[in-house]
A and B are shown apart, each in its own frame.
Chain A
Amino acid sequence: MDTLILVIIGLVAGPVLGGLIAGLDRRVTAWFQSRQGPPITQAFYDVAKLFGKEKMVVNQWQILCSWVYVIAAATSLALFFAQSDLLLIFFVQAVGAVFMVMGAMAAKSPYSQVGAQRELLQVLAYEPVLILVFVGFYLVTGSFSVSAVWQVDQPLLAKMPLMYLALGYALTIKLRKSPFDFSTSHHGHQELVKGVLTEYSGPYLGLIEVAHWYETVLVLGLCALFWTTNVAWMIVLIGCTYLLEILVDNTMARMTWRWMLKRVWLLGIGLSVVNLIWLYAG
């Protein structure tokens, strides 16, 4: 019963928190750039407007894929709130990512095709890092499940500091922030138009936006697991991490996939491996 309530909380909190974070993100970015920025609830208005638009597709796969994307993203967050297995949560999230890419490839559009290829490279970059971070969780708590993390008596950050940095790479990629926003970005002015999302429009783009909110909350939830002993510190940790993400987003240029693959595999996996060796030794 408790699990069911948690799942419902997760399903509701996902879009609400995700939308608010997106709005806050735009406000803080505007503040960095000495602008006023939109209201915090702007993200909700945007998605509501998308849902009201005319339905328009290149073919039926896009409808199917955008629905599966949002369902998989919601399921993965529900599993996270049900304190399930971290690897399973990640694999379920991957269902959504794969379907989003397939939907983009279904349209014969050069922009979305190239965007889809780049999106796959982003998956390639962050997936090993995330799996290794989960192995780190296992080594500290003796289990892959989220529930075990709540039983530690010392924040995981103390034992896995390098892994947290490595997770930062995955977080930046998943949030579609510079320098890793080359498959698609929040700004529609890159060389690929809107990249992997180019051919999604109207309500289907709205679905993808909601799925993205779910994923944002999921990845920030993973960060939150690094400080489970004290809720106040957990909020501080997530707040600081997200502020840093916005800072990075505003100060970095967009890079190429080669740069990303080398950087994330060498540094991300390298940091994880060093941290894992500490854990094995400890």
Chain B
Amino acid sequence: MSNLLTLLILLPVVAGLVCYFVRSSAVRNLTVVATGAILAAASLGLLGQGSFEPLAVGSFLGIGSDFLITVMDFALLGVIFFYGVKHRNLLIQGFTLAQVVLLAWFEIVMVEHVDVPALAGDQLSLIMVLVISIVGSLICIFAIPYMKEHEEHLHLKKSRQPRFFFFLLLFLGAMNGLVLANNILWLYFFFEVTTLCSFMLIGHDATEIATRNAVRALWMNSLGGLAFVIGMMLVYMQANTLNIAAILGGASQGALMVTGVGFLCLAGFTKAAQVPFQSWLLGAMVAPTPVSALLHSSTMVKAGVYVILRFAPVFAGTLLSDGVAICGAFTFLACAALGVGQSNGKKILAYSTVANLGLIICCAGINTPLAISAAMLLILFHAISKSLLFLCVGTIEQAIGSRDIEDMRGLYARHPRTALITVIGILTMMLPPFGVLLGKWMAIEASAGNIWVVIMLATGSALMVVYLARWAGSLMASREANAAPERQPLLTRLPLMLLCGGAVVLSLFSPWIYNTMVAPMFNAPPFIIRFGSFEASTGAFVVGPLFIVFALGLIYAVKAASGFRKVRIAPPYLAGSNAGEAGTYIGPMNVPVPFSTGNLYLGELFAEGKLTPIFNALAVALIVLMLGGAL
């Protein structure tokens, strides 16, 4: 047990150091692939052993591990402060200094240092470990060929990949530590490590815009760190313990406790890039694509929703809970609306991530077993589908040199495999019987008791369908009968295929996943599983039968479509004035005139520049309302 935990947290760190110091690409590639495989196996092993009670870690080389974490905490804040000074950013310096002062006060004056079991694993932690270790590892493996090509484009004299893979792997270790931590100070330490890693990775290319966006990410997450310290202090004042299990077990819902958790939620909001903090995650897309995939799916933003879900039992039934639900639902609606106006593929995905995180946070705020189940399934399935889509955009970008979905029009003609995987990825994000929609269905049914939340969810989910469906549609096209097959490196294809297969197959097994991983959390689970269907008195979702019907239907449809070369291929209708060349019509003077079509981005209604300030102002008001509700 403790061996597995050590492996999950420390192996990525050690592997990262190997990548950093051994400047050989062969060693690096082998290290990354091996680490990924071991992490995946270890996470499955941990799942096999099931949830475990809090356990103590003891000492390391004769030094108490708690003391070690404290020292590293201050060192980390020192590093962040250094970057604040280097980039002359007063916000970072201020937020970090405030953290140092408060943390010193907390550690020296307030806390009675008693042994607290440092690590624990419940169902939520185990699911998170799976997501981090498997999805995260696949992204790291995808990064190997991607970064090779990325650097060939940049013509670097000296490869910066050692640094890149160091932070990438460190990120996985920190995330595993974060979700397994039972001592709130450990949680805080790993929370800060993810802040630093994301700063380093966003700024990796060291261009002006990368640096600017990295600094923005750092100050916003430093604000989150400050909120975390304040929340931690307030919670300690009431609960008198650093033990998270004890905090959750204690039934007290005093004002201090709820306010403290309110601040922890604020920290979660910044990390999960909820409106008005969404700009750091949007800025993060300047980084190489594997970084975006990692930040958006399995790490960083999921750390934010994890913290909120972790402390959700404490604020059940309070006004804070309603506040969290409304803030989350508002983010869902706002970012779904902002996504409609975008044609940049990465930006569409970014807004869709923020919206889905809002949905998960909204579920944490609704705080019923049904809603928490929805949140956990969404975490799992969103991570798979979203990482897949980011890796697809990365692959497409390297193939066609653009990430704009207008340029991806007709991608199937040249890159059939990537286009098909992207289409499947998009479908798993929005349609039944796939897992993300299952989660959304649960979320809407769970929110039916709260009129404002359900209105926002209903509107937001309609907006999401619009921008995802038109993207999937525009990828399809005709392919020449004798076109060359698409070639790509094995390490690019493998993660894409595995994630794509995972998104589909795991959706089929969602009833089983629910039964083994989610249902044990509750005394009265919201669903019973019968015939592969979720059943409850409030509604039912027939996963298994739907899969069978759609699978048979799709096989038939594919078979019908595969014989298309036998039917007559006609040019599209152009009022009878088709010119010989495709994509042109016969215009005035009998000259062929090319035509083009584009998506409707509804700029007049969904302009980013116009809507963002309004949404930000509303979101700030809602957050103030939420924290006020906690007081």
Nearest B residue to A88 via CB reads: B541
Enumerate B371-398 residues with CB–CB distance to A below 8 Å.
none
Enumerate B431-482 residues with CB–CB distance to A below 8 Å.
431-432, 437, 441, 444-445, 448, 451, 454-455, 457-459, 461-463, 465-466, 469-470, 472-474, 476-479
A59 adjacent to B564 (CB under 8 Å): yes
Enumerate A134-148 residues with CB–CB distance to B below 8 Å.
135, 138-139, 142-145
B553 adjacent to A68 (CB under 8 Å): yes
Q: How far is the CA of A128 from the CA of B520 in the complex (A)?
A: 34
Chain A residues lying within 8 Å of B441, measured Cβ to Cβ, are 87-88, 91
Count of residues in B whose CB is under 8 Å from the partner chain:
64
Residue A117 interfacial (CB < 8 Å): yes
Q: How far is the CA of A63 from the CA of B557 in the complex (A)?
A: 7
B451 adjacent to A121 (CB under 8 Å): no
B539 adjacent to A88 (CB under 8 Å): yes
Nearest A residue to B537 via CB reads: A143
Chain A residues lying within 8 Å of B469, measured Cβ to Cβ, are 98, 101-102, 120, 123
Query: Contacts A116-B473, A121-B600 hold; do A127 and B461 have CB atoms under 8 A apart?
Result: yes
Chain A residues lying within 8 Å of B461, measured Cβ to Cβ, are 127, 131
Residue A36 interfacial (CB < 8 Å): no
Residue A64 interfacial (CB < 8 Å): yes
Residue A24 interfacial (CB < 8 Å): no
Chain B residues lying within 8 Å of A135, measured Cβ to Cβ, are 444, 448, 454, 458
Chain B residues lying within 8 Å of A112, measured Cβ to Cβ, are 572-573
Chain A residues lying within 8 Å of B549, measured Cβ to Cβ, are 71, 75
A124 adjacent to B432 (CB under 8 Å): no
Residue A163 interfacial (CB < 8 Å): no
A111 adjacent to B470 (CB under 8 Å): no
Chain A residues lying within 8 Å of B459, measured Cβ to Cβ, are 128, 265, 269
Residue B63 interfacial (CB < 8 Å): no
B432 adjacent to A107 (CB under 8 Å): no
A106 adjacent to B546 (CB under 8 Å): no
Q: How far is the CA of A87 from the CA of B462 in the complex (A)?
A: 13
Chain A residues lying within 8 Å of B458, measured Cβ to Cβ, are 127-128, 131-132, 135
Chain A residues lying within 8 Å of B102, measured Cβ to Cβ, are none
Report the minimal beta-carbon distance from A83 to chain B, rounded to whole angstroms.
10
Report the minimal beta-carbon distance from B453 to chain A, rounded to whole angstroms.
10
Q: How far is the CA of A103 from the CA of B560 in the complex (A)?
A: 14
> What 1/0 mask marks residues of chain A from 47 to 68 whose CB sits below 8 Å from any chain B CB?
0000000111111110110011
Q: Which one of A60, A108, A109, A123 contacts B465 once the chains associate, using CB atoms below 8 Å?
A: A123
Chain B residues lying within 8 Å of A59, measured Cβ to Cβ, are 476-479, 564, 569
Residue A92 interfacial (CB < 8 Å): yes
Enumerate B573-587 residues with CB–CB distance to A below 8 Å.
573-575, 582-583
Q: How far is the CA of A112 from the CA of B571 in the complex (A)?
A: 13
Query: Contacts A88-B541, A139-B448 hold; do A58 and B571 have CB atoms under 8 A apart?
Result: yes
A121 adjacent to B466 (CB under 8 Å): yes
Chain B residues lying within 8 Å of A128, measured Cβ to Cβ, are 455, 458-459, 462
A88 adjacent to B542 (CB under 8 Å): yes
Residue A25 interfacial (CB < 8 Å): no
Residue B61 interfacial (CB < 8 Å): no
Residue A95 interfacial (CB < 8 Å): yes
Residue A104 interfacial (CB < 8 Å): yes
Residue A184 interfacial (CB < 8 Å): no
Query: Contacts A64-B557, A127-B461, A131-B444 hold; do A57 and B599 have CB atoms under 8 A apart?
Result: no
Binds B, one of A224-232, A236-244, A273-281: A273-281
Q: How far is the CA of A84 from the CA of B546 in the complex (A)?
A: 12
A144 adjacent to B445 (CB under 8 Å): yes
Nearest B residue to A79 via CB reads: B542
Q: Which one of B463, B466, B560 contacts A67 once the chains associate, using CB atoms below 8 Å?
A: B560
Report the minimal beta-carbon distance from A243 to chain B, rounded to whole angstroms.
29
Q: How far is the CA of A103 from the CA of B477 in the complex (A)?
A: 10
Residue A199 interfacial (CB < 8 Å): yes
Residue A28 interfacial (CB < 8 Å): no
Query: Contacts A108-B582, A109-B572 hold; do A142 and B462 have CB atoms under 8 A apart?
Result: no
Q: Which one of B454, B462, B599 contacts A123 once the chains associate, using CB atoms below 8 Å?
A: B462
Q: How far is the CA of A106 from the CA of B410 in the complex (A)?
A: 8
A273 adjacent to B561 (CB under 8 Å): no
Report the minimal beta-carbon distance from B439 to chain A, rounded to whole angstroms.
12
Chain B residues lying within 8 Å of A144, measured Cβ to Cβ, are 445, 448, 538-539
B538 adjacent to A142 (CB under 8 Å): yes
Q: Which one of B463, B477, B575 contacts A106 once the chains associate, using CB atoms below 8 Å?
A: B477
Q: Which one of A61, A127, A139, A261 contacts B476 once the chains associate, using CB atoms below 8 Å?
A: A61
B473 adjacent to A67 (CB under 8 Å): no
Q: How far is the CA of A138 from the CA of B447 in the complex (A)?
A: 11
B431 adjacent to A138 (CB under 8 Å): no
Query: Contacts A75-B546, A108-B477, A131-B444 hold; do A68 and B466 have CB atoms under 8 A apart?
Result: no
B564 adjacent to A88 (CB under 8 Å): no
Q: How far is the CA of A118 from the CA of B469 in the complex (A)?
A: 12
Chain A residues lying within 8 Å of B476, measured Cβ to Cβ, are 59, 61, 102, 105-106
Residue B521 interfacial (CB < 8 Å): no
Q: How far is the CA of A113 from the CA of B599 in the complex (A)?
A: 8
Query: Contacts A59-B564, A60-B562 hold; do A87 and B472 have CB atoms under 8 A apart?
Result: no
A87 adjacent to B454 (CB under 8 Å): no
Chain B residues lying within 8 Å of A185, measured Cβ to Cβ, are none
Q: How far is the CA of A60 from the CA of B459 in the complex (A)?
A: 33
Query: Contacts A117-B470, A276-B451 hold; do A124 and B477 have CB atoms under 8 A apart?
Result: no
B473 adjacent to A101 (CB under 8 Å): yes
B462 adjacent to A273 (CB under 8 Å): no
A269 adjacent to B455 (CB under 8 Å): yes
Residue B556 interfacial (CB < 8 Å): yes
Query: Contacts A91-B432, A127-B462 hold; do A84 and B572 have CB atoms under 8 A apart?
Result: no
Chain A residues lying within 8 Å of B431, measured Cβ to Cβ, are 91, 94-95, 98
Q: How far is the CA of A192 from the CA of B286 in the complex (A)?
A: 40
Residue B110 interfacial (CB < 8 Å): no
Chain A residues lying within 8 Å of B101, measured Cβ to Cβ, are none
Q: Which one of B410, B564, B600 contacts A63 once the chains associate, using CB atoms below 8 Å?
A: B564
Residue B568 interfacial (CB < 8 Å): yes
Q: How far is the CA of A43 from the CA of B520 in the complex (A)?
A: 54
B470 adjacent to A108 (CB under 8 Å): no
Residue B114 interfacial (CB < 8 Å): no
The 6 closest A-B pairs by CB, nearest first: A105-B473, A109-B572, A67-B557, A144-B539, A127-B462, A71-B553
Interface contacts beyond A67-B556, A142-B538: sample of 11 additional A-B pairs, CB < 8 Å, sorted by A: A59-B569, A64-B561, A67-B560, A79-B542, A87-B539, A88-B539, A91-B437, A127-B458, A143-B538, A145-B538, A277-B451
**Can you spell out 30 A-B residue pairs with CB atoms less than 8 angstroms apart?**
A54-B567, A57-B569, A59-B569, A60-B564, A61-B561, A63-B567, A64-B560, A64-B561, A68-B557, A71-B550, A85-B540, A86-B539, A87-B444, A88-B540, A91-B431, A95-B550, A98-B469, A108-B477, A112-B572, A112-B573, A118-B600, A124-B465, A131-B458, A132-B455, A138-B445, A138-B448, A142-B538, A144-B448, A198-B573, A201-B570
